[in-house]
Amino acid sequence: MKIPAHAPLNLLHRVALGTLATHSRQPQGFPYPTILPFALDARHRPTILVSRLAEHTRNLEGDARAGFLVADAPDGNVLDAQRVTLLGTFEPIDASPLFVRRYLRFQPDAERYLALGDFAFWAMSIERLRYIGGFGMMGWLDGSELDPLEPLALDEEAALLERFDAHPRHTSDVALLGVDRYGADFRINGVRTRHTFESPATEFATLDAAFMTCTAAILGG
């Protein structure tokens, strides 16, 4: 069946961990799965922070093709959970300071790994994905279908973050993690949550209005 692209996109924003499957170097050819924290970049690509000495990093250096599985199963019932398997290639990226700050908002524990110096960011270019949203709701999408819109610039996201932090009703219990054209991600009382907009915001003015409505709903007033 035809899967709406916003379903796997919003799923990727709700989850903090994914299973990376690389091609093993030794023993050669076997799938090598490992679980990793990740965050999405402005184009909704899963981005991981990995050590140059890690087995999965060495596998990617030998063969960039990989699978990445993300599931939202807080009660452990994986078979009834939403899940998506991404197929594509990983490549190291030159992360800008704005992106590093974005990643650390989603994965604050990663700051200690960055301090070690041998960790680097790798981003996944998605070629195909299979989404399962429940019984009878499953199908394949081309990677280009996940998000056909122009990504929100990181400096525009930073301006919205600054405005949110300056809101008179803002408290330390609520943290804004990121904003994109489809919604906003928060951590409220330590719990990560996704607030989706009524429709994708193709223009910044539309996005700004949707974000202000979202802010009022989260903070009140």
**pLDDT at 221 (0 to 100):** 62
Q: Which residue has the tokens 């250096």?
A: 61
Token pair listed for 40 = 């999405």
Query: Which segments of the chain have a pLDDT < 70?
Result: 1, 221
- pLDDT by residue (tens digit) across 50-93? 999 999 999 999 999 999 999 998 888 888 889 999 999 999 99
- Cα distance between residue 68 and residue 90, in whole Å: 10
Between the CA atoms of 53, 99, 95 and 41, what dihedral angle is there, to the nearest 10 degrees?
A: 80
**pLDDT at 106 (0 to 100):** 98
**pLDDT at 1 (0 to 100):** 62
Domains and CATH numbers, the chain: 6-145 (2.30.110.10), 154-219 (3.20.180.10)
pTM (predicted TM-score) = 0.94
**pLDDT at 75 (0 to 100):** 85
Indicate the burial class of 79 (C-beta count within 10 angstroms; 0-12, 13-18, 19 or more): exposed
- Cα distance between residue 171 and residue 213, in whole Å: 18
- pLDDT by residue (tens digit) across 15-36? 999 999 999 999 998 999 999 9
